C-alpha cells in the first residue's frame, strides 16, 4: 500500500496511507495529539506511583508515542517497560522523513542540555531488533513486536498497567474497535489499569464497560471534540 508523508497543523509530519485516505497521526497536529491523548490522559495518571509501569501500545507506528513516553520518564524518574505492537513497521526512509525528534524535544525544555544523548536514544529505538526486549535507557525498556493485534491472545509478556490504543480509525478497520480485540487487550491488563484512546466510539465504551472499566469521555485533542479513557479498579477500590 502506497504511503506518503504529510505535514500536520503543528508542523510535525505523519504518514498517509493513500489507498485508505488514512493517516498515522492527526492532521491537526501529530505531536499535540500524542501528548494530549497518551501522555496527559494516560501516562500522567501514574505520576504518584513509584512502581515499574508496564505499557502496551496498540499501533506502534512511527514510535512517536513511545519516544514522548521515554522523555516523560526522564522528568518523573519512572521506570517503564514498553511493549509496542505493529504489524507493518515503518521503513527507514519513512522514519527519516517524519523525524519527530526536534519537535518532541521542544516539549521538554528541561532536557535540552541532553539533546545529543536523546538523539541517540531516538535512533536506538528505531534500530532495535523486533520481537525482543532492549534496555534503551536505565529507566526505559522496549520491545517492538511485529504481529497482528489479535495475536496478543498468545502473549506471554507480563500484564500491563496502561494501554495506548492507537489503531487506525474504524472507518478503515472497524474490526479493531469491536469487542473481540477489546477483550484480548483487556485480558492483557492488570486488575487496576488504564486504557486511553483518541476515539469516542460507542462500541468501545460498551466493550470496555463490559470488561470491567469505568469509561469517561474527555475533551479531545485539536480537531477532535472528545476522546475516551477507561479506568479499571479492583473490586474493593
pLDDT of residue 226: 95
Domain, as residue range, for 156: 30-232
Tell me what the mean pLDDT of segment 169-184 comes to: 90
pLDDT of residue 236: 47
pLDDT of residue 237: 47
* 51-72 confidence digits (pLDDT tens): 999 999 999 999 999 999 999 9
Is 138 contained in some domain?
A: yes
What is the rounded distance in angstroms from the CA atom of residue 111 to the CA atom of residue 76? 12
Is 183 contained in some domain?
A: yes
Percent of the chain with pLDDT over 70: 97
- Give the total number of structural domains in the chain: 1
Q: Extract the C-alpha cell encoding 115.
A: 539533546
Q: Structure pTM? A: 0.93
Is 129 contained in some domain?
A: yes
Return the CATH number at 53: 3.40.50.150
**DSSP bridge pairs for 145:** 85
pLDDT of residue 234: 67
Is 6 contained in some domain?
A: no
CA 59 to chain centre: 7
* H and E: helices and strands count for the chain: 7, 11
Is 219 contained in some domain?
A: yes
Amino acid at each position: 500500500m502506497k504511503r506518503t508523508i504529510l505535514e500536520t497543523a503543528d508542523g510535525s509530519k505523519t504518514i498517509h496511507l493513500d489507498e485508505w485516505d488514512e493517516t498515522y497521526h492527526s492532521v491537526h497536529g501529530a505531536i499535540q495529539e500524542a501528548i494530549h491523548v497518551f501522555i496527559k490522559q494516560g501516562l500522567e495518571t501514574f505520576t504518584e506511583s513509584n512502581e515499574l509501569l508496564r505499557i502496551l501500545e496498540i499501533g506502534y507506528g512511527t514510535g512517536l508515542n513511545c519516544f514522548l513516553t521515554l522523555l516523560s520518564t526522564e522528568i518523573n524518574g519512572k521506570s517503564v517497560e514498553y511493549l509496542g505492537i505493529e504489524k507493518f513497521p515503518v521503513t527507514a526512509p519513512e522514519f527519516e522523513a517524519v523525524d519527530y525528534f526536534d519537535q518532541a524535544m521542544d516539549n521538554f525544555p528541561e532536557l535540552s542540555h541532553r539533546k545529543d544523548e536523546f538523539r541517540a536514544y531516538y535512533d536506538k529505538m528505531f534500530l532495535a531488533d523486533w520481537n525482543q526486549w532492549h534496555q534503551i535507557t536505565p529507566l526505559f525498556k522496549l520491545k517492538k513486536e511485529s504481529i497482528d493485534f489479535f495475536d496478543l491472545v498468545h502473549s506471554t509478556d507480563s500484564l500491563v498497567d496502561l494501554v495506548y490504543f492507537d489503531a487506525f480509525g474504524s472507518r478503515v478497520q472497524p474490526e479493531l474497535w469491536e469487542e473481540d480485540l477489546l477483550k484480548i487487550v483487556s485480558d492483557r491488563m492488570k486488575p487496576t489499569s488504564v486504557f486511553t484512546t483518541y476515539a469516542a466510539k460507542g462500541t468501545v465504551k460498551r466493550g470496555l464497560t463490559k470488561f470491567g472499566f469505568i469509561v469517561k469521555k474527555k475533551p479531545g485533542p485539536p480537531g477532535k471534540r472528545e476522546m475516551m479513557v477507561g479506568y479499571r479498579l479492583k473490586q474493593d477500590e
